[in-house]
Amino acid sequence: MNRHTLLADYIRNNPGAIGKVVDFDATHDHLFQPDLTAANNELTAELINNTGLFSQWVNHKLRDNNCRYGVGGYMEHRTIYAFSSHFDTGDEPRRLHLGVDIWGDAGTPVYAPLDGIVHSYQDNNHVGDYGPTIILQHNLNGLTLYSLYGHLTRESLHNLSVGMPISRNRQIAALGNIDENGQWPPHLHFQLMFDLEGRRGDYPGVCKFSEKEMWQQNIPDPGLILGFPDAVNAI
Q: Residue 77 is part of a domain; what is its CATH number?
A: 2.70.70.10
CA angle 194–170–191, rounded 5-degree value: 30
Q: Flag whether 154 is in a domain.
A: yes
23 belongs to a structural domain: no
Helices (H) and strands (E) in the chain, counts: 5, 14
Q: Which of 83, 179, 79, 81 is nearest to 132 (CA)?
A: 179
Instruction: Please tell me the number of Cα atoms within 13 Å of 41 on its side-chain side.
Output: 0
Q: Is residue 140 part of a domain?
A: yes
Model pLDDT, residue 190: 98
Does any domain span residue 19? Answer: no
Whether residue 38 is contained in a domain is answered as yes
Residues of the chain with pLDDT under 50: 83-87, 235
Domain count, the chain: 1
Q: What is the pLDDT of residue 43?
A: 85
pLDDT at 232: 63
| Boundaries of domain holding 174 | 3-14+29-85+92-234
